[in-house]
Amino acid sequence: MATEKKPEPDELIHIGPEMAVAEADLMPGEVGRFVQGTSLWRDAWRRLLKNKLAVFGLVVVVIVTISSIIGPTVIQRVFGFTPDYIPSNDPRLTQSFPPFTGPNGEFSWAHPMGTDNAGRDQFARVLQGGQISLFVGILATLVSLLIGVSYGAIAGYVGGRVDNVMMRIVDVLYSLPYVIVVIVLLSMFRSQTPRGQLILLFVAIGTVSWLTMARIVRGQVLSLKNQEFVLAARATGVSNTRIIFRHIVPNTLGPVIVYATLEIPQIMLTEAFLSFLGFGVQAPLASWGSLAADGIQNIAVFPWQLIFPGVTMALTLFSLNFLGDGLRDALDPQMRTV
Amino acid sequence: MFRFIVRRLLVTIPTILVVISITWVLIKLAPGNFYSGEKPLPPAIEKIIREKYGLDKPWYQQYGKTMWGIIRHLDFGTSLRYQGQSVNTIIKRSLPVSAAVGLLAYLLALIVGVTVGSIAALKQNSKWDYGSMALAMLGISVPNFVLGPILILVFSLGLYWLPPSRWGGFPSRNLVLPVLTLSALYMAYIARLTRAGMLEVLRSDYIRTARAKGLSERDVVIRHALRGGLMPVVSYTGPALAFLLTGTVVVERIFALPGLGNYFIQASLNRDEPLIIGIVAFIAITLLLMNLLVDIAYAYLDPRVRYQ
């Protein structure tokens, strides 16, 4: 029985992450009732699961991610075509079919989202576009995480004049019309290979999206750096680099994760915007933005070419935004502003 | 206040020059040139072109010439693609198009967003609140290049109510769809910001005082709560303008409007250097001046904010 176990006099009883109560503080009847300790993460997870919209978002994001990753391979196994497969020997097939329609206008399961102008399967292309869009979103967020966290942590920890100069640089960069500069960058250094253009896209998006992250982390570090555990670390002779990255940065993770989740849809939107204008992902690779750009050319005749990639993207962003909002409420209820 | 404005201007001007310089460096570093198309030119002709546009001179002379023209006369030179037209003429011609779409979109977003956001805050946790906030999330998540074509599909190609594209002068039916497309995102953001701001203000002491004085609920909301509750919206104006400028690029592409954004994309694709630099500089100047105006408005609206 739980009541049999008597806690040690100085043992702490954890009720939640915010509260640690010593035995002496408990009401007489409660002495000895041992409460299972919960970590910050398990607590946040439980709060997240209570939020129906966030769970919906999580489910959709997981479904979209998994089907983007394995979808093209499965389609290739089952139907025998890849996203860039053009049925070139049969002229009847190299045209845009409506969803669920075969070459003679009959019902067919082969192309649930129709085909594009060259007869490529739209479903496979949307899934492959999802691969690229999610990949760019996650990788560019990681790049901005790396730069932003290091920059913000160093500025906040060192403080003084260094901090002043570093943050002034961020202020100046903030006020730049950066999308405009990115367009110039991408159009001037247009790469010959689709892969090269993709890398250029990462560099362009990653280097400008770390600013907000740097500000958030700096704010956190400023409030953390005067706490006892940092003083203790310094007193035991830990180097500054180690204090920043081993002791301070892990404590800023909550807000950082929340902001990163909300940043993924932003970056995916930027990528789609650039690809839509023709500066991003190049054919035969496809992203949701470039598929939408192709689709808009034929919107009057073949509306499904735009609707499927567009709606898939909107649904994914919608879910990611809800998930991010839910995570923010779960991890840091005080940050609830917008 | 005056000192604050002067100091901000002193930071703004170098920032603009830095933006122009970054753009200039990017253009010069990139391989190729505006005349290097699919076919290589004969060397003699290439030499003449390089002499004509001063490309044979060392880089510091080219840079100096560009910057001096901008600093001295705000003159960005002549377009390479649109023969004989100065960059200033092109900007002057295309600006009204972008400004009309952008300002109308912002106005619409402000009116609808503030109304919806206030109602959501006043009826917190009601079905109105949840409904409008879900709609706002949808507005944030649907990219404008998806929303625009869908609007065209429904209202132009389906119902035949509105023209699908082209510029038709200032007050014209052609403006309806571009303005709707562009404003959806800001509408959603402003509604969320207003709701958050209002929720915070409605709990504050001065609202309780106003209620205790016996003011009608309408007076409390309109005269007292809105003023404080709209502060986040005011501070969002700066970023909103930046988004608006990039948003117009897409919207002008979708609806084939001859605005700044469309010219900018064309210029980037054609490597029309003076035009790129001109438009980038123009956008940077507008953005930074607007941010300054927003800060001044902020200080005026919120007496707690003091700039040294």
pLDDT score, position A259: 81
Write down the pLDDT at residue A110: 65
CA distance B52 to chain A (A): 22
Contact B157 A299 (CB under 8 A): yes
Reported confidence tier of residue B49, pLDDT bands at 50, 70, 90: confident
Give the per-residue pLDDT at B158. Answer: 76
Can you give the pLDDT at residue B247? Answer: 74
The count of CB pairs under 8 A between chains A and B is 126
Q: For residue A247, which of A272, A216, A220 has the smallest C-alpha distance?
A: A220
Q: Which of A4-13, A323-332, B24-33 shows the lowest per-residue confidence on average (mean pLDDT)? A: A4-13
Shortest Cα distance from A280 to chain B (angstroms)? 13
CB–CB contact B15 A176 (8 Å):
yes
DSSP chain B: -HHHHHHHHHHHHHHHHHHHHHHHHHHHHSSS-TT--SSPPPHHHHHHHHHHTTTTS-HHHHHHHHHHHHHHH----B-SSSTT-BHHHHHHHHHHHHHHHHHHHHHHHHHHHHHHHHHHHHTTTSHHHHHHHHHHHHHHHS-HHHHHHHHIIIIIIIS--S--SS---SSSGGGHHHHHHHHHHHHHHHHHHHHHHHHHHHTSHHHHHHHHTT--HHHIIIIIIHHHHTHHHHHHHHHHHHHHHHHHHHHHHHTT--SHHHHHHHHHHHT-HHHHHHHHHHHHHHHHHHHHHHHHHHHHH-TT----
How far is it, in rounded angstroms, from Cα A267 to Cα B231?
A: 27
pLDDT of residue B112: 92
Per-residue tokens: A145: 């995480």
Per-residue pLDDT reduced to its tens digit, B217-251: 888 888 778 877 787 787 777 777 767 777 788 88
Partner-chain contact B232 A299, CB within 8 Å: no
Amino acid (one-letter) located at B124: Q
For residue A102, give both structure tokens. Answer: 């075969």
Percent above pLDDT 70 for chain B: 94
Give A80 to chain B, closest Cα distance, Å.
Answer: 30
Closest approach of B15 to chain A, Cα-based (Å): 7
Model pLDDT, residue A89 = 62
Q: Which tokens in the block code for residue A76?
A: 């290739």
Q: Give the residue-averaged pLDDT of A181-193.
A: 77
B261, B269 contact by CB (below 8 A): no
pLDDT above 70: residue A334? no
- Residue bearing tokens 């190609």: B157
More confident residue, A98 or A276: A276
Which residue, A36, A39, A56, A38, is CA-closest to A48? A56
* Residues of B with Cβ-Cβ distance to A183 under 8 angstroms: 249, 264-265, 268
The pLDDT assigned to A87 comes to 61
Task: Tell me the chain B residues in contact with residue A172 when contact means C-beta distances shorter than 8 Å.
Answer: 11, 15, 18
Task: Give mean pLDDT, residues A246-268.
Answer: 81
Q: Which comes out higher in pLDDT, residue A101 or B189? A: B189
For B211, the token pair is 């209620």
Q: Which amino acid is at A231?
A: L
Contact between A181 and B291 using a beta-carbon 8 Å cutoff:
no
Percent of chain B with pLDDT over 90: 1
> CA gyration radius for chain A?
26
- Residue A86's pLDDT is what? 64
Chain A residues with CB under 8 Å of B153 CB are 299, 303
Which of B28, B141, B203, B266 has the highest number of chain A CBs within 10 A, making it the mutation to test binding with A?
B141
Taking the C-alpha atoms of residue B252 and residue B245, their distance in angstroms, rounded to an integer, is: 11
A152-181 residue pLDDT tens: 888 888 878 888 888 878 877 776 777 777
Question: Cα separations (Å) of A77 from A74, A80, A89, A336?
Answer: 5, 6, 21, 47
The pLDDT of residue A2 is: 42
* Residue B30: alpha-carbon gap to chain centroid: 27
Which residues in chain A have their CB less than 8 angstroms from residue B276's CB?
A: 184
CA distance B278 to B275: 5
Q: How confident is the model at residue B305 (pLDDT cuts 50, 70, 90)?
A: low
Lowest mean pLDDT among A290-294, B10-14, B15-19, B39-43: B39-43
Q: What is the C-alpha to C-alpha distance for residues A290 and A194, in angstroms, rounded to an integer?
A: 12
Q: What is the pLDDT of residue A118?
A: 65
pLDDT of amino acid A100? 64
Which helix (H) or strand (E) covers residue A25, if one does? none
**Could you read off the pLDDT of B261-282 as tens digits, one per residue?**
888 888 888 788 888 888 888 8
B193: chain A residues, CB-CB within 8 Å: 338
Asked whether the beta carbons of B259 and B98 are under 8 A apart, the reply is yes
Residue B308 reports pLDDT greater than 50: no
Is residue A337's pLDDT more than 50? no
Q: pLDDT confidence of A129, banded at 50, 70, 90?
A: confident
Burial of A192 (0-12, 13-18, 19+ CB in 10 A): exposed
B104-156 tens-digit pLDDT: 888 898 899 888 888 888 887 788 888 888 888 888 888 888 888 888 888 77
Q: How high is the pLDDT of residue B38? A: 62
pLDDT band at residue A91 under the 50/70/90 scheme: low
Task: Give the tokens for residue B10.
Answer: 């002193």
Q: Which residue of B has its CA nearest to A168?
A: B11
Give me the mean pLDDT over the B277-294 stretch: 82
CA proximity to A213, closest of A251, A261, A178: A261
Which pLDDT score, from 0 to 100, does residue A256 have?
82
Q: Which of B100, B85, B98, B77 is nearest to B24 (CA)?
A: B77
What predicted TM-score, i.e. pTM, was given to this entire model? 0.77
Q: Say if CB B96 and CB B90 are below 8 A apart.
A: no
Contact B229, B200 (CB under 8 A): yes
User: Helical H runs in chain A?
Assistant: 40-50, 52-79, 122-158, 160-174, 178-188, 194-208, 211-224, 228-235, 240-242, 253-276, 288-297, 304-331
Chain B interface mutation, best of A197, A203, A299, A316, highest count of B Cβ atoms under 10 Å: A299
How many CB atoms sit inside 10 A of residue B71's CB? Answer: 12
Give the span between the Cα atoms of B198 and B226, in whole angstroms: 7
Rounded mean pLDDT of B49-61?
78
Using alpha carbons, list the distances in angstroms from residue A4 to A31, A33, B105.
11, 9, 69
Mean residue pLDDT of chain A comes to: 74
Interface test with B, best of A170, A183, A321 (most B CBs within 10 A): A183
- Residue B307 phi, psi dihedral angles, 5° rounding: -100, 135
**If you write DSSP's letter for every residue of A227-293 in order, what string do you get?**
SHHHHHHHHTT--HHHIIIIIIGGGGHHHHHHHHHHHHHHHHHHHHHHHHTTSS--TTS--HHHHHH
Helix (H, G, I), strand (E, B) or coil at B164: coil
Phi-psi region of B109 (alpha: psi -120 to 50; beta: other; left: phi over 0): alpha
What pLDDT was estimated at residue A34? 54
Predicted local confidence at residue A175, as pLDDT? 67
